[in-house]
Every structure is written in C-alpha cells, then in structure tokens.
Amino acid sequence: MRIYERYFARQVYLAFIFILFAFSGLFFFFDLINELNTVGHGNYKFGYAVLRVALQTPSRFYEIIPVAALISTIYVFAQMAANSEYTIFRVSGLSTSQALRSLLKIGIPLVALTYFIGEVVGPYSDQLSERVRLEALGSAVSSNFASGVWVKDTLTAREDGEQVTRFVNVGELMPDASISDVRIYEFDPTFKLTNVRTAKTGRYEGKGHWLLTGVTDTMLTSLPPPANTPADALSPVYRATQVTLPEYSLRSELTPQILSVLLVSPDRMSMFNLFRYIQHLVENRQDTQRYEIALWKKLLYPFAVLVMLVLSLPFAYLHTRAGVVGVKVFGGIMLGMSFQLINTLFSHIGMLNTWPAPVTAALPGLIYLVLGLGGLKWVDRH
C-alpha cells in the first residue's frame, strides 16, 4: 500500500470506528427504550433487557457498516477538500481512477468484516438474545396458528425405498430447541394415512434423529370394504393398532436449524442456515421466494460498502468556495440512508411482483453504483 493510501486508510478507519459506535450507541438507546415495555413480566428484569439489547449489537453493526463507511469517507474527504489536501494529491498526479482503486482497496477489509459479523457473530448472538428473553419470560416459541407450527417432512424411510410424507405439528419450540406437544401424521406415496404418532417432548440427538418421549403410536392398516359394499375413497375402512412407548427414535430431515427460523427473522439468519431451509422448502414443494431474497441479500449486502465508497469519492472534489460543504455532506449522508430504505423496499416489491431473487437483491446496489460512477464522471469533467 502506497503512502497516500495508508494516509487515506488511517483517516477513514478512525472516522469509521467512531461513527459505527456512535450510531450503535444511538440504536442501543432506542432498542432499550422499546424493550422496557417487557420489563417486569415474569422474571424479565432490567438487567435481562440490557443483556438482550447488547446481544443484538452485532446485528446492528451489520446493518450500519455500509452507512458508517459512507459517512466516515465523506467526512474525511470533506475535511481534505476544506484544507486543500486532496488538491495537493491531485497536483501530485493522483487521478480519479487511481483514487477509486485505492478507495476500493481500503473497503475490502470492511467487506470482510461485514461478512464475518453477518455470518458468524450476528446470527449466533441473535438466537442467544431471543433465548435470554424467552427463558426470562418463561415462554416458548410458536407460530401464529393456535395449534402450533406445522412442518412438512418428506423422506425415504423404508427399506424398499418407498417415500414417506409426514406432516409434523409442533405445539411449542423451547429456547433450547427442544420441542413439546408433538403430533406426526404419516402418509404413503398415494397419500393414505398410515400412522398417527404423538409425543409429549422431543430432543434432537444428531445425525437426523429425534428422541421422542411419552409416545403414543397408532398404526392404521387399510381394510377391504364389507361384502357387497362399494369402496368409498371418502370413507375408508381402517384397522388401528395402538402402542405406547416411553421413548422413540424418529428419523427425520428436520433439524433444530430448520426450526430455528422461528427464533430469528430470515434477514438475520446465516447464509448456511438459509440455504438449508430453502432446500427443505424445495424438497417439500413450498414457496421459497422470501428466503431466496434474504439469501441473495446476505450474499450481496457486504458489497454495499464498496458502493458507498464510490458514492463518497465525488465529495473529495468539493471546494469550500463552490458552496457550503456541510450542506453537500448532509446530502450525501441522506443518500446513504436512502439506500437502506430502498434496499428494504425492493425486498417487498420483489416479493409482491415475484421478481427473481438475484435481481431483487442486486438492483438497489446497482442503482446507487451508477449514481456514484455518474457523480465521479461529472466531477472529473468539471
């Protein structure tokens, strides 16, 4: 890295750290105020509220990094423009393309940092944050249905390779990923009900197996209709055999990672968990668009840092005599904040209009990249 690049990097990184923590502190304050509505319920004390909000800080970092990179770089370049430092760099032979390449090199560590927080730290801390809250409240996670959450599970479970389709109803998902009030309905390839299994609790044992306790297993066998009676598909005849077991090991494609989608919103899940959940939905022929958009956003969002740096470079060409620098810097900051708004808005628009997930995720970044390159071309000419 050249001398001027090291100088740029030092100034940008120092301003970036200050702005990142300043914005995070602001969000921490607002999140804590919002969390106070729950304080006093169950064992949820003020200390738990502070801990929960603190555990959400990495996800706030992830959301703020691109805007913090834009604001810090605009601030550094505005200061350089006001002090004529950047003019000296230009007179010394620094072209716009060289400055852009140097700025993108400075942005690469910020992209890596964004990926690390979004994939490793953020999802884990968010799940931990939800578990702290649920355990303090003595609550469990459930879906919007009164009967709990319903999940389709398809697997090849028999020795002859016959496919089994299950509809699994989980009454409650506990913070430790154990389940309770479980009902499992098994169907054969012709979608005839063959088994109804209920269990009080369940715990994941690894390698695709759940250990169910307090199990009641009802096996249904189809019988031919009585003599001289036509078969009626709407009123089949079954023989039921019921067995009670203290424990039962159930092989299933469901994992705690798939069920954990109830604990964390798709935008805060890791790409690996999103990909696993999308595969599960595809195998069960369910709609995946919402999660595909979230996956592509997770893949492309860190590169928004580079887009923000491109947007900031035209501010290095501002001169104090050309107008009020503060107003122009404020306009640049609003431009960066609008990126967050447009990025969220396009996710909903893409879902409503069934746009391809890569297009929905990439379009906001491409729009702002064109704006940044257009601004560079304009200042280079003038």
pLDDT at position 66 is 92
- Tens of pLDDT along the chain (382 residues) come to 578 888 889 999 999 999 999 989 999 999 999 888 888 877 888 988 899 999 999 999 998 999 999 988 888 888 887 777 877 888 888 888 888 888 899 999 999 999 999 888 988 888 888 778 777 776 555 555 566 777 877 776 555 566 788 888 888 777 677 888 899 998 888 778 888 999 999 988 888 888 999 999 998 887 777 776 676 666 777 788 889 999 998 888 777 767 766 656 777 778 888 888 888 778 777 788 888 998 999 999 999 999 999 988 887 776 655 455 667 667 777 887 888 889 888 888 888 888 898 999 999 999 999 988 888 888 777 6
Closest by CA position to 245, among listed 209, 283, 217:
217
pLDDT of residue 274: 83
pLDDT at 61: 93
pLDDT of residue 350: 86
At residue 25, the pLDDT reads 92
Q: Where are the chain's structural domains?
A: 3-138+289-381, 149-260
State the Cα–Cα distance between residues 126 and 138, nearest whole angstrom: 18
Q: pTM (2 decimals)?
A: 0.74
Q: Which amino acid appears at position 115 of this protein? A: Y
pLDDT at residue 160 in the model: 56
Q: So what's the pLDDT on residue 281?
A: 78
- Please name which of 48, 39, 60, 33 lies closest in space to residue 130, comparing C-alpha atoms: 48
Using CA atoms, how far apart are residues 60 and 207, in angstroms rounded to an integer?
34
- CB pairs under 8 A, 24+ apart, for 81-86? 81/315, 81/316, 81/317, 81/318, 81/319, 81/320, 81/325, 82/320, 82/325, 86/316, 86/317
